[in-house]
Amino acid sequence: MNKKEIIEKTELFVKQTLTKDSTGHDWWHIHRVRNLAKRIALHECADIFIVELAALLHDIGDYKFFQGDEEAGAAKVREWLSSLEISPSFIDKIVEITSRISFMRTLLDKSEEGGKKNSVVLTLSRELMAVTDADRLDAMGAIGIARAFTYGGFFNRPIYDPSIKPSKTITKEEYKTTEAPSINHFYEKLLKLKDMMHTKLGRKVAKRRHRFLNLFLKQFFKEWKGKM
């Protein structure tokens, strides 16, 4: 099976798996991340085949839809890739990317709260940086705003509640179980992404999308207070 066939089969698999998603992690999110990741990969001289496959599969088995199971995604990705004619070394690289891409992976465990993260600093491949930046960019700007409220609505979260303040140091456990208003998500994640980009192109695009997030919030709070 050649690379083109592998990509086409994987695209169909992902479309069928995510066709009914209504949380903002649907096929069109995957489509946008793939396109962004490929553009970044070209700038970073990364392996386009690995980047495209990882981008296509990065939300398959997401812990949010598997009762918080953080290993479900890796197992599902590995199972799919093993059904194709792909070398074990390529499978390992793709699984590593899809396993490490989540924003939640950057948060402290509750046992580490108040201290520094105990995990060893791992090397970031060009492919991992390309897919991670692409996924984070899709959580910013106009699309990011739309996705934030889509996700919040799916889980019946209020738009905003002034009595519920955003967490300044949200832990991994809190992030996984939070029922906070959607506006809090801007402060707990979205506004942090600009400074978490790994690539030159990612940082450039993130600056523009970050500005749009701030413009939205400024207008939101103006309207919330009943100002004209």
Please calculate the CA angle 167-171-173 and round it to the nearest 5 degrees.
120
Task: Look up tokens 């009943």; give the residue.
Answer: 226
* CATH number corresponding to 3-104+111-224: 1.10.3210.50
Identify the pLDDT of residue 177: 78
Separation of alpha carbons 58 and 187, rounded Å: 24
Identify the pLDDT of residue 61: 67
Identify the pLDDT of residue 175: 81
The residue ranges of the chain whose pLDDT is under 70 are 61, 63-68, 107-122
pTM: 0.90
Identify the pLDDT of residue 120: 40
